[in-house]
Every structure is written in C-alpha cells, then in structure tokens.
Structure 1
Amino acid sequence: MRLSVQQREELIGIVQELIRRPSYSGEEEKVAKFIKQTMEELGYDEAWIDEYGNVIGKISGKGNGKSVVFEGHMDTVVVDNPEDWTHDPFGAEIVNGKIYGRGTSDMKGALGTMIYAASLIPKEKMNGNVYVVGVVMEEIFEGIAFGKVLDKIPADYVVLGESTNLNINIGQRGRAEIVVKTKGKPAHSSNPQLGVNAVYNMIPLIERIRNLKLPSHEFLGDAIIELTDIISKPYPGASVVPYECRATFDRRLIVGETEESVLKPIKDIIAELREQIHNFDAEVEIASGEAKTYTGKLIKAKRFFPAWLLDRNHELAQKSLQAVNSLGIPAKFSKYSFCTDGSQSAGVRGIPTIGYGPSTESLAHVIDEYIEIEHLVKAAEGYIAIGEALLR
C-alpha cells in the first residue's frame, strides 16, 4: 500500500503535534493524552492509559491469530541548550523536507508513524490483533515501563520503532551499570598514616578492571566496559582522607551474559587485591534506580538490560524483510548499537522482536534533531506491509 497525498499530510500532522508537546522522562502526560485521542479518532477498537502512564491502543482482527505489538517510547532527552538550536526544539518546523525538533528521530517520528499506519492495515486481512504502545521513561529505564504493558497484553511478536534507517534490526548489545566502591578510613590529611585512603585503593582496582578480557559476538560485536564517573567521600575533601571511593562503569553486554557472569570477574579481582594490599576493602554491584512516572507510580529497577538476538531465519525476521523489500525499500538485516526496549521483550521475556524505524541512530539526542518526511512515509508503508504479512 502506498500513502495518498492526504494520508501523507495526516501522518505529518500527527508527528508535528507530538513534537510540539514536550515530554521529558516523567513528564509525558500531554503526549499520552494526545496519542489516546488520536487512536480514538483513527478508529482503534480500544485505547487506554495504564497506571504508569503508558498508552495502549488495540485494533481487533477477524480471527484468533497472533498479536503483533508495535512499540515506541514517548519520552525524550532534555534540551539543555535551546539557544544553540537553529530551529525551535518544539516548533516542528518543516524545512527542505525535514521536520525539526526534539524527539523527531528519537522517537516521536516513528511512534506517530506506527499509530497512523496501524489504522491503515485492512481489518479484513487481519487474522489476529494489533497493539500500538507508547511507553514512558525509556530514556532512563530501558524496557521497564514496557514490561508493565507486556504483563497485561498478549504479544506474539514485537516491532520496535527505534531508528534503523529502514532496515530490519534483529538484535542489540545490552547494558549494565556497575558500581564499584572501595572502603577506607578517614583521618586528617596532615596525618594520612592514621587513615586508609579509599581513592588510592581504587586505582589498582580500576586498572585491573580495564584489563579484563571480555567476550565478543560475531554479529553484535564486542562486550565493553568503560569508566563513566568517579567520586570520593567526603566531597569536597576539606583536609580529610577519603573513606570511600565510588566508580561507575558502563558495561555493554552480548547475548548470554547475566548479572552473575558480569560481576564474577570483578569480584575475583577484589578477592585477589584483598590478599595483595593491606587494608584493601571493596564491593561491587549492579546499580539500581527509581523514578516516579507522571501518574505518581514509582518505578524501581536494577540497571541491567540484557542483549538479544533473533535468528534471521525466524518467520518474524523473514516475513518482515520480505514485506518491506516488496515495496521497493532495499532493507537488510542489521542491529542496534544502543540499548532499546527490546531488552525487555526479547532479552527478558524471549518474545520474538525486531526493530524497524525511520531515520538513523546518529540523529538521536543531537542539536537540531530532525527526521526526513520521506523516511516517515516509507516507514508507514513498511509498518502496514509488516502488519499484513504477520497477520495473514
């Protein structure tokens, strides 16, 4: 199916309205209400907002076939420096075939497109149901809010709308946030021999962690561990030998890695350094976080988001690729370099998942973020074709 001129304009209008409503993490209410209203106007059979503020729309087919979930997140990263933007971050201006604004590529363009495209899948061809989901707080908790939705609705297949440059993404590395702490003993810095400096103890630990041999995957790439911040207590020091030092590492995961397997090599290093360094003490854990949604519900979770990979011969992958290619869109199998809500659907729950979305990863979170209108149109046609192929 090709979009008509009128349908193109309707699609553009929906995306622009999403951009014009700022929706930082925990502040998605206006966008959520607009999405629910839009779903109702487009003829969805059901549309509702759950207790966490996620929006879910359902289009019912004629049979008892599979349920396909199209998913995207409503929140965006913050615009800290609007003065550096050439275009209003929330103006949704169209210039030279591009819509500018925060969230255009990450990922209100795709979300608006999924919402609109799902309504154009012919119901008479649907032997199953379509759900379109807009989730909260993905930018700070990948997949946690999506998990709340998957607790309530059936999902045989998941299609993520995160940018893929119109390719079919079949996997991604996961992400873990690892916190390492060394313990010391405070003393006045004029008498350091009376204390134990936790920062000095952190130095050899960091060096050993940097030299860890990490696994690799032929498709997803290398596992990574990178130091992202370090701070001591007390801070500022004020003539006190620091009694604690905390370092945070970003750990990129490949399939099969677990919390236990990720932490074990660091625990082994700590045990060895206890034997080698007098008064050495340290601990390691997966970081935890919590935040309130705009509905007032508290989300708490460990910051461990598994990697996932779908077999390229799986029918979800094959049917989706064939459906998109049949439109003359030259798609191929690819992967995400960043973490997505697929960590929940595929990584945690094992639900077959792909990614298919307009624009490119490199346009996420940038100044003068934009999305090409032609990408929106092609993505809409692709979503329709994928929906038809999976629900025949």
Structure 2
Amino acid sequence: MSKIRKVTLSFSLMTASLGLLAQDRPAGNADKKYLAEITALKEQVIVKKAFQTIVDLDPQTLSDHLLLTEIPAPPYKEMVRAKKYAEMLKAAGADTVWIDNVGNVIARRKGKGGGKKTVVLEGHLDTVFPEGTDVTVKHRGDTLYAPGIADDTRALAVVLTVLKAMEKHSIETEADVLFIGTVGEEGQGDLRGVKNLFSNKGPGKIDTYIAVDGWRREHITHRALGSHRYRVTFKGPGGHSSGAFGLGNPHNALGRAIHYWSVAADSFSRVPGARVTYNVGVIGGGTSVNSIPFESWMEVDMRSENPERVAGIDKLLQDAVQRALAEENKMKRAGADLTVDVKLIGDRPPGALDPSLPLIQRAIAAIQLGGDTASLRVGSTNSNIPISKNIPAITIGTGGQGGNAHALDEWWMNDKGYLGVQEALLILLAEAGIAK
C-alpha cells in the first residue's frame, strides 16, 4: 500500500443547513422605468439585427467555446489561453488588445463619449484544474463534458460573440467598453486579475462591471460573499517515532487547532446574524508512520457577506491555533518548541449593492423580457472587488445548461445558449448607451 502523505478533506464544517442556492432572493418585476427602457432598447432595429446575428453565430460561438476549453488554463498558468483569446478579440474587431502585467486580456472598444465612462464585460480565463488535467471535450449526445467547459470558458465565448455582433452592425456606444478575460478568479488566484484592473496598473477608471460566470441566466449576483483563506503550518524538529519520542508533534497541534476552531466557530455561527461558513479543506504533512512529522499544515476557508462576521470567525481561528501551539509545547518532554506560520492566502472583500441600482434593474428587466424570473444572489466572483468599492457591478450567467462545476465531469449543453449572449448584449448596451 502506498504511503499517503497528503489527505484532502471534504468535511465541511458548515454552519447552516442551507446551501448557497437557498440564499437566492426573488427579484420580482423590474421597476417600470427600467422595464420600459430595456423594452425600447430591445425594439431598436439595430439591436434586433444584432440579436439575429447572435443566433446566426451560435455554431461559431460553440466552436470558439470548444477551442478555448481545450487550451489548458490551470491556476497561475493561463498565458497560453490568454494569448489565443487576445488573438480572437483582435480578429473580432476590437480597437486595441493587450495582455496586462498579471495576464489579463483586455480589448478596448472606444465609445463616442470621449472616455467619460467605461463599462466592462468580462469572463475569467482560469479553471480550478491543475496542470496535466485532460481538457479534451467529450460529446455525449447533445451534452459536452470537459473540465472548465461551463466555469468559465463558456463566458469567454459569450464575451467574444457580443463583440462580434456589435462590430457586424457597427453599434457605437457612448461609453468605452472593455472586453476582458481575467486571470486568477479561482481558488488561490484570489481574484488577482480583477484586483489588478482596479489598481493603479489597471486600464483606468471603471464605472460599471459586468462579469459573466455560471450558466443560469436568471441569476444576478449583486452581493459579494467575502472570504479569508489561510495556510496554517505547525513546524517542529521531527524524528523517529520511538527514538525521539517526547518531541513536540505538529500533527497533535494541528488536530487540536481544528477541534478548537470548529467548536468555537459552531457556536459563533449559531448567533443570529449574517450567515457565516467555515471549512478545513486540505491537510498534509509527515513522512512515514514511524516518524514524528517535522510539519503539519492545513488550508482553511471562512466566508460571510458581513465583514464583521468574517473578522469574528477569523479571530476564532487565530485563537485556536495559538491555544493548540501552547498546549503541545507544554506537553512535549524534549526538544525545541514547535512554531506556527499562519499565512493569508486569500482575501475576498464582501459587500452588497442596492437592488434599486440602475444596473441591477436593467438586468432584472432583460431577464424578465427574456421570459424568466430573475433571482438576486450572493456569490464569490470577480464582482466582489467592484462591489466592495461600491461600483455598480453584477455577475450574470452564460445561458444554456450546465453542472458539476469544478469536477472532472463538468458539463454544458447548448440549450438555447444564444439567449444568454443576447441578454449580455442588452445589459451592456443599456449601461454603455447607444450613441446617437
């Protein structure tokens, strides 16, 4: 039997019995003002033509989707896909296309308003899957299977087709529009791509941010689920399990830390307030069954849309770690004290936008006119950054049907997928304004 040196845990020390979908809130009907605005926009001849072009381009959209899916884009290694996507955006007609200092692909389409307003339409380039994962698309009937095919490669194809439709009909906007493929949305990428967009190294002031992520057209994410993620590593001298018996054991300290945190966090989570979750996702360390480990580590995640709740459960982790360290050092019989390193590996800020915001009302109206009922959601997406800065931002779905995100058998089906592209175009034009 092979020695297992790394154990992935999926025990979700979750605080509530409700899943994320249970946090959806029915949006109701859009405000009459915005429903009338979106209706009028949708009835414009040039928009109708663009809608038909999106339908006509559906086979090409799918071809782009499959091509990009089969270009691996593991965490921190998105450049091959980025270069291809930059070529595709340039070929689609963007005024300028570049790859920024962290790897984001940015295509600017200038508006007629002199740069006074900038609107972003974005999908993320990266997937959660490690280097070496087979990303070949498998066709099973009308369903497509491949790692990353729904999250978020379909969004890249949506963004590209919106640009193509605007170019074909020479739809000019008042605002500048940035069509973007971002890096670092998943996992330990820690939103580094979108963080860079809003830094002094970004493309300039962004006034509206529309992210495309997930497949459900009726979903509008307008509340940002904040999170802290840590890698906690206990370290000691290590040694033979018998010959060096009595040394401090990092595994013992890690076990205590997990126990103390889970017990305290469970109580904290039951106090009325915004939902908060906590999870030990990965643990590792040790060399053999008859060796005292020289290190023991875990990676943990905690989330809430309330920053005070995130801070509260974070403090419980810090306290649990220090208590565990002190107890193991007190119990050891020989050798140097254990040490601990607590490294922040993820910091996604929370926030929320008022549903009465024009961007959100326009999205609700677009979904309503498409024959669906919108739901308002909380999520952890690229929109976290602009939402936390109180910049109008939402995350919308691509359309079609999908499932098993982040699994090797992730799938997507082109069930009227063009509808998601049309809604993305409609929301974008409502925010950017069609030039007179």
Query: What's the TM-score, normalizing by structure 1?
Result: 0.79
Aligned to 1:297: none
| SS of equivalent to 1:147 | helix
8 Å CA contact 2:123, 2:181 repeated in 1: yes
Provide Cα deviations, 1:197-235, integer angstroms capped at 9, x if missing partner.
33333333321101123458999x6322222233345x2
Corresponding position: 1:177 with 2:229: yes
Aligned to 1:352: 392
Corresponding position: 1:62 with 2:112: yes
Of the structure 1 ranges 369-378 and 273-282, higher mean CA displacement relative to structure 2 is found in 273-282
Matches within 5 A, 1:357-376: 357-358=397-398, 359=400, 362-376=403-417
Shift of 1:185: 5.9
Provide the rounded CA distance (Å) in 2 between the counterparts of 1:273 and 1:21. Answer: 45
Shift of 1:53: 2.8
Q: 1:130 aligns with which of 177, 182, 196?
A: 177
8 Å CA contact 1:113, 1:376 repeated in 2: no
Aligned to 1:3: 52
Shift of 1:251: 2.0
Provide the rounded CA distance (Å) in 2 between the counterparts of 1:253 and 1:95. Answer: 40
Change (3 A) 1:94 1:55: farther
Aligned to 2:255: 203
8 Å CA contact 1:225, 1:251 repeated in 2: yes
8 Å CA contact 1:324, 1:386 repeated in 2: no
Aligned to 1:85: none
Provide the rounded CA distance (Å) in 2 between the counterparts of 1:45 and 1:26. Answer: 27
RMSD between aligned residues: 3.3
8 Å CA contact 1:172, 1:307 repeated in 2: yes
| SS of equivalent to 2:189 | coil
| SS of equivalent to 1:108 | helix
Corresponding position: 1:236 with 2:288: yes
Identical-pair percentage:
21
Aligned to 1:42: 92
Of the structure 1 ranges 10-19 and 241-250, higher mean CA displacement relative to structure 2 is found in 241-250
Of the structure 1 ranges 21-30 and 54-63, higher mean CA displacement relative to structure 2 is found in 21-30
| SS of equivalent to 1:133 | strand
Provide Cα deviations, 1:123-149, integer angstroms capped at 9, x if missing partner.
656221111111234334031022223
Aligned to 1:307: 350
Query: What's the TM-score, normalizing by structure 2?
Result: 0.72
Shift of 1:116: 1.3
Shift of 1:18: 1.7
Aligned to 2:194: 146
Of the structure 1 ranges 124-133 and 185-194, higher mean CA displacement relative to structure 2 is found in 185-194
**Gap runs ≥5 in structure 1:** 83-88, 288-301
The amino acid across from 1:108 in the alignment is T
Aligned to 1:295: none
| SS of equivalent to 2:102 | coil
8 Å CA contact 1:111, 1:134 repeated in 2: yes
8 Å CA contact 2:222, 2:387 repeated in 1: no
The amino acid across from 1:74 in the alignment is L
Provide the rounded CA distance (Å) in 1 between the counterparts of 2:397 and 2:245. Answer: 59
Provide the rounded CA distance (Å) in 2 between the counterparts of 1:53 and 1:20. Answer: 19
Provide Cα deviations, 1:92-132, integer angstroms capped at 9, x if missing partner.
75842x44433220111111111211343466562211111
8 Å CA contact 1:73, 1:138 repeated in 2: yes
| SS of equivalent to 1:120 | helix
Provide the rounded CA distance (Å) in 1 between the counterparts of 2:378 and 2:401. Answer: 12
Aligned to 2:38: none
Aligned to 1:120: 165
The amino acid across from 2:194 in the alignment is F
8 Å CA contact 1:53, 1:135 repeated in 2: yes
8 Å CA contact 1:142, 1:341 repeated in 2: no
Corresponding position: 1:90 with 2:141: no
8 Å CA contact 2:224, 2:387 repeated in 1: no
Provide the rounded CA distance (Å) in 2 between the counterparts of 1:165 and 1:156. Answer: 25
Provide the rounded CA distance (Å) in 2 between the counterparts of 1:28 and 1:273. Answer: 39
Provide the rounded CA distance (Å) in 2 between the counterparts of 1:277 and 1:144. Answer: 37
The amino acid across from 2:149 in the alignment is T
| SS of equivalent to 2:206 | coil
8 Å CA contact 1:169, 1:333 repeated in 2: yes
Provide the rounded CA distance (Å) in 2 between the counterparts of 1:383 and 1:390. Answer: 11
Corresponding position: 1:168 with 2:220: yes
Provide the rounded CA distance (Å) in 2 between the counterparts of 1:275 and 1:17. Answer: 54
Change (3 A) 1:236 1:384: same
**Gap runs ≥5 in structure 2:** 1-47, 332-337
Aligned to 1:226: 279
Of the structure 1 ranges 204-213 and 256-265, higher mean CA displacement relative to structure 2 is found in 256-265
